[in-house]
């Protein structure tokens, strides 16, 4: 009995969470896929009608805007956060005296919720309250910084707030990576008289490839599911200029009673996530099997 238990206890312990994940994650993905093929409006209906919800989705200019915004926001958010995070990490890595304090300063934005970040930046970027009015108050009457209320630039304010929030976290990831590089190799390189810049670009950064990958995965899923930041910062506006797929889905499902349309947009969002995550999982699994 005890031997049987010993052999099976891991399976027994894992079973409830396995069942829960099968139902609440994969089961509901399947349900959403089904509903996305129906004419569901207010309540879900289950007569499959084919792919016409996807046709409606791709015909909607608002969805186009949302996907474009996701592309702009995702690319810039991931790129700038990584570059900035790496830069701060390298600067902090120079064995400076107040590293502990500085590290905390840069990491703290991550402790805030996106709602707080969004609201704070909404005030900072508001032309009548924030940076623009302050600089104009200093006497630079022609200074203009109205991105938040300009439909062509509003999406970049979301990038600014997002980068501010996430780059400290990326810095922490990179700092841990920098510290884990074998110090012997670095010393050997220093003995050989190789300049510090070269040590970073040729030795340290290449050896941190897995960290780049983790940072990329974390940031890209933050970008795709980004919802609260947009709601707090711009509310999707001006107009729907800063809509993201997640806010589009919310509007369709909960404000407009158009569940089929919301389900089809959710499926497209999931496909976007899969195109990023699946290659990652694939490479991870293959590395383990080798």
Residues at the contact surface with another protein, assessed by CB under 8 A: 41-44, 56, 59-62, 122, 126-128, 146, 148-149, 151, 154, 234-241, 251, 254-258, 261
| Among 136, 184, 186, 125, CA closest to 158 | 125
Q: For the chain, how are helix, strand and coil distributed in percent, rounded to 5?
A: 75, 0, 25
Among residues 73 and 106, whose Cβ is nearest to another protein?
73
Nearest approach in angstroms of CB 125 to another protein is 11
Whole-number minimum distance, CB 127 to another protein, in Å? 6
Minimum distance between the CB of residue 153 and another protein, rounded to whole angstroms? 12
- Up-side HSE of residue 41: CA atoms within 13 Å toward CB? 0
Which of 61/193 has CB closer to another protein?
61
Q: Which residues contact 260 (CB under 8 A, 6 or more apart)?
A: 35, 36, 38, 39, 40, 41, 53
Of 257 and 279, the one with the shorter C-beta distance to another protein is 257
State the minimum distance, in angstroms, from the CB of residue 38 to another protein: 14
Q: Which is nearer to another protein, 119 or 207 (CB)?
A: 119
Label residues 48-64 b or e (16+ Cβ within 10 Å = b): eeeeebbeebeeeebbe
DSSP collapsed to 3 states, 92-117: HCCCCCCHHHHHHHHHHHHHCCHHHH
User: Minimal distance in Å, beta carbon 65 to another protein?
Assistant: 8
Query: Between 152 and 290, whose beta carbon lies closer to another protein?
Result: 152
């Amino acid at each position: 009995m005890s031997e049987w238990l010993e052999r099976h206890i891991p399976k027994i312990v894992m079973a409830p969470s396995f069942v829960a994940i099968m139902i609440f994650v994969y089961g509901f993905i399947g349900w959403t896929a089904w509903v996305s093929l129906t004419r569901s409006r207010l309540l879900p209906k289950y007569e499959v009608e084919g792919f016409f919800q996807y046709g409606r989705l791709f015909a909607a200019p608002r969805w186009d805007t949302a996907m474009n915004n996701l592309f702009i926001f995702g690319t810039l958010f991931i790129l700038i956060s990584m570059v900035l995070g790496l830069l701060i990490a390298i600067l902090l890595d120079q064995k400076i005296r107040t590293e502990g304090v500085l590290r905390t300063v840069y990491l703290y934005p991550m402790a805030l919720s996106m709602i707080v970040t969004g609201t704070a930046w909404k005030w900072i970027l508001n032309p009548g309250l924030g940076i623009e009015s302050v600089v104009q108050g200093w006497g630079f009457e022609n200074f203009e910084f109205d991105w938040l209320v300009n439909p062509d630039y509003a999406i970049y304010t979301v990038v600014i707030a997002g980068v501010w929030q996430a780059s400290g976290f990326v810095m922490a990831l990179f700092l841990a990576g920098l510290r884990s590089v074998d110090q012997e190799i670095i010393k050997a390189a220093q003995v050989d008289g190789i300049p510090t810049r070269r040590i970073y670009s040729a030795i340290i950064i290449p050896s941190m490839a897995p960290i780049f990958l983790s940072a990329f995965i974390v940031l890209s899923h933050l970008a795709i599911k980004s919802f609260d930041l947009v709601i707090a910062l711009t509310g999707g506006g001006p107009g729907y200029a800063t809509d993201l797929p997640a806010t589009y889905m919310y509007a369709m499902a909960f404000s407009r009673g158009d569940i089929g349309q919301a389900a089809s947009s959710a499926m497209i969002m999931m496909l976007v996530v899969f195109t990023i995550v699946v290659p990652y999982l694939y490479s991870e699994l293959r590395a383990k099997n080798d």
